[in-house]
Structure 1
Amino acid sequence: MTNLSFAAQKIKQKQKIELNKSVFDFALVYVLEGSILSKENKLKFSKGNLLFLNKTFETLETKKDAIVFVLYFSGSYFKDLHFIQQNFRLSFSPVDIFNSETFLNRSLSLKKENKKLTEQVFELIHQYDREDATTSIFIFHQIMSLFALVENIVKDLGLPIHASYEMSQEIEQYIQQNIYFPDKLQIKSIADQFQISANYFGAFFKKRYAVSYKTYIDAIRIKLIEDRLASNSYSMKQIVEELGFSDESHLTNFYKKKRNATPSSYKRAKNSA
């Protein structure tokens, strides 16, 4: 299973699952029959449990009567095929789910109706006996349907999934570096930059900052306009060119919509203060 970003396995006898010794970063494990044990953590996972593992998890051992499905992923798997993720309207990426404290190396016990659907999807993936499994859109759709199901369960249970703080910092840096280039700040452009779907980015941003991405960017641009108007060092033409507006009318209309006043009235008020 080396040099792969994804692999599937069905265990029908006593074996070990040692993600920390594999080339993969994450594993999604479903217990179809019997149980599996973690001797180090003294944990037992029974039939119908769905586990979310990363490299920090110790070795799992299946019992003789166990039938277990395992899907292995590297982080790059979800980045390589991120453009399809937008079809599933996920609020969180699978990587966020694997790393969330809610699920990190823990299990989710499924209800009867969810068990049946989960088992069908895992069986479909396991039966896909072709060399292109790593890049298969069909397989990716099956996997993403599993994570869509997980999100629905999470919402029903009211469980939190915390977004990546590291990615928040990277996004903030990107915005600061490109605030003068509107094309680079379009949601599609920034989603491509971070190799995530546009829908996921929008949901991630709103959860992280409590405002929409557009509202956040507009507020920064308004502040930049007002700073330059107040300084008396910039002409309207210079502000238009610096901030990437098409012309002075474009800037004026943008400002009026946000402030219910014109740039010139703001400048007069500042100069008379």
Structure 2
Amino acid sequence: MANENLHQPFEIDYKELDKFPRTIRRNNFFELIYIAGGTGVQYINKNKFNYRKGNLFLITPQDIHSFEITTVTQFFFLRFNEYYIKTKSNKHKEWVERVEYILQNASHRPGCILKNKTDKPLIASLIESIIAEHANQQLYHNKIIEQIVNAIIIIVARNIALKLPKNIKENTGETVLDILHYIQQNIFEPKMLKAEQLSKHFRISLSYLGRYFKKQTGETLQQYISTYKLRLIETRLLHSDMRINEIAFELNFTDESHLNRLFKKYKGMSPTAFRNQAR
């Protein structure tokens, strides 16, 4: 496995490839990968996704990823680190932390991150502009490219934010964002997700914790944990060959039937039926 490092605040690259380097990569930075043309399969964290022109992928630090190319593919790479985000605005510390959280929240998910349909042609146009500026090297091209990069990162953050709990807003308190991040990091450790443990970790009284979380997110703690687990189950059903009992074991369900009951309660069908319908 190759560990990739970034030596500039951001880097751009454009390549046409018929074969992707065989090395499985793990970065210490964020990487946006836009498919300007071609088809194939994206592999990320043991999941896979069939890619095509117009897809945009976000690879977060520590994600393990690679591509298998089916038809010659034009890849546009935009790499940036947390330092780049922080230097954009020292005057707006909350906004910077918000963008950082949103980007981290996308971690470990396969597939195109553009959920807002109107953003797809906008991203295509912005990336074409970067490629043109980079090729022509006209006056102020570096400054113009930097401004376009900023716009792309904000558009990406907006699309990821569409997947956050419904009541999360730009002015939501940092504590609840920290709680969400903590839950996602510890989703495979049930003991860490008990209300008593959350209360102790965040120094919030047990009696107030539930009310605070519900007010901030519109969901109870248990509802959010179940919803997040369901998203992980869906990802594995759609983009991996894991068996149902393997998914149940990974997510610490008591057994396969327990996972089946939860999934059917929220989705109205069994995991097997969901996978078969998707295929």
TM-score of Structure 1 vs Structure 2, range by shorter chain: 0.3 to 0.5
Q: Give TM-score scaled by structure 2 length.
A: 0.45
Higher helix share: 1
User: Which structure has the higher relative contact order (CA within 8 Å, separation 6+)?
Assistant: 1
